[in-house]
Amino acid sequence: ENCLKNRVSGRINFYRGRDLIQALKSLNEAFLVEMGQQDEFKVTPWTVEGVVDYEKLIRDFGTEPLTRELKDRLVSLAGEDHLLLRRSIFFSHRDLDKVLHDYEAGRGFFLYTGRGPSGPMTLGHIIPFYFTKWLQDRFRCNVYIELTDDEKFLEESRNLTIEDVRKWSFENALDIAAVGFDTNRTFIFQDMEYVRNMYPMVLKIAKKVNFSWVRAVFGFDASTNIGMIFYPAFQICVTFFEKRRCLIPAAIDQDPYWRIQRDIAESFGYHKTAAIHSKFLPSLTGPSGKMSASQPESAIYLNEDEKSVRRKIFQAFSGGQPTVEEHKRLGGNPDVDVPYQWLHFFFEEDDEKIRRIREEYSSGRMLSGEIKE
Ligand code: TYM
């Protein structure tokens, strides 16, 4: 009740149906976070639920925190800094130190990332591609981009046809190409089309991974279709496209695949893959979960027009107080305020400016409408 009183005020009228339920869930979770009583969260390659505790994820997944020292080394070899590193949006890794060592020793490395073409891409989905392009520019490496039309067809909850996933592969490839990768060093492919070149390696991988293993890693059960059970072999396969070490920039939800890869790679005479993991750009409907293309009000699409972007931002979950008077008295909470989080994540590059916005907003001098503007 408190949560609703403090946060919803006029905004509740904007939400309908599933979005309303999502908004209420987020409000409740934000409230619990503030009260220090948040529930468990869940991160898998297919869902992100609850308020993610990234420190705990590092422990649960067994990855390494991206330390200041390692970041400095990466920045120094790259010859320039990157916003997503500086703001700790990339926060965790596997074997990044070995990648840098290979680079210094002249062996080089290659980059791999991907997209599940289930619909239009959101701002969250494009973030790893921007970072991958930066790494490519700075380290002059090959980039492989997998479009997993097979995976998205097989995911039963999505209800997509073969034609749908083909269409979205094409559309998403255009958005990815627009990021501006080096055309001489970049390969974008669709699983259904490129399968014949991958299949021998896919089979070798599949033979090494039994059902109880993928059941434990991905939570599959006896009702999971056999396509989904086989699919991980495709996502793992790309890490074996070259004999050099592979570095995968992605959000941390994709890490379970790399865990399996790292257990089998050396038996094939390949390197264990390295990875650099990002946090999730928060959903517009609140601090819980990631933006989701299947919930239109939670996300902004790359092809959305200005009017609609504006409308969504102005309805976004706010850490402000219900009335201007209260806001001026109590101040806003930037840690749950989605517009502030978005500025911090991606949109405000100027460190001094973001510090000032945080201060002004927390003190109540800056209003919710102003931060959204
Ligand atoms: P997909 O299409 O779910 O997501 C594409 C990429 O976007 C990342 N991501 C996000 N990053 C920041 N904020 C968010 N809110 C957010 N939501 C998603 C994902 O981690 C991913 O990097 N199975 C994969 C496709 C794939 C892949 C790969 C991804 C195949 N091979 C190798 C990364 C690396 C998928 O469905 O991604």
Chain segment 49-106, per-residue pLDDT in tens: 888 999 999 999 999 999 999 999 999 999 999 999 999 999 999 999 999 999 999 9
CA distance 8 to 321: 9
Residue 13 — pLDDT band, cuts 50, 70, 90? low
Contact indicator for 25, 234 with CB cutoff of 8 Å: no
Q: Give the model's pLDDT for residue 9.
A: 45
Strands (E), 195-260: 245-251
Nearest CA among 278, 276, 208, 210 for reference residue 245: 276
Is the Cβ atom of 282 under 6 angstroms away from ligand 1? Answer: no
Look at ligand 1, atom 34, and give the residue with the nearest C-alpha.
Answer: 113
Residues 319-359: pLDDT tens digits?
Answer: 999 899 999 999 999 998 999 999 999 899 999 999 999 99
Q: How many angstroms does the Cα of residue 156 sit away from the middle of ligand 1?
A: 18
Is the Cβ atom of 235 under 6 angstroms away from ligand 1? Answer: yes
pLDDT average, residue stretch 191-214: 98
Look at ligand 1, atom 25, and give the residue with the nearest C-alpha.
Answer: 115
Q: Which of 47, 115, 144, 277 to mutate to test the pocket of ligand 1 (most atoms within 8 A of CB)?
A: 115
Q: How many angstroms does the Cα of residue 233 sit away from the middle of ligand 1?
A: 17
- How does 288-312 read in b/e, with b if 16+ C-beta sit within 10 Å? bbbbbbebbbbbbbbebeeeeeeeb
Is the Cβ atom of 127 under 6 angstroms away from ligand 1? Answer: yes
Q: How many angstroms does the Cα of residue 114 sit away from the middle of ligand 1?
A: 6
Instruction: Tell me: pLDDT of 287 over 90.
Output: no
Is the Cβ atom of 154 under 6 angstroms away from ligand 1? Answer: no
Nearest CA among 24, 21, 18, 34 for reference residue 319: 34
Residues 153-181: pLDDT tens digits?
Answer: 999 999 999 999 999 999 999 999 999 99
Residues 206-257: pLDDT tens digits?
Answer: 999 999 999 999 999 999 999 999 999 999 999 999 999 999 999 999 999 9
Look at ligand 1, atom 18, and give the residue with the nearest C-alpha.
Answer: 125
Q: Which of 254, 302, 344 to mutate to test the pocket of ligand 1 (most atoms within 8 A of CB)?
A: 254
Q: Could you write out the DSSP letters of every residue in 9-76?
A: GGGGGG--HHHHHHHHHHHHHHHHHHTT-----EE-SS-EES---HHHHHHHHT-EE--HHHHHHHHH
Is the Cβ atom of 331 under 6 angstroms away from ligand 1? Answer: no
pLDDT average, residue stretch 125-151: 98
Q: Give the model's pLDDT for residue 40.
A: 75
Residue 37 — pLDDT band, cuts 50, 70, 90? low
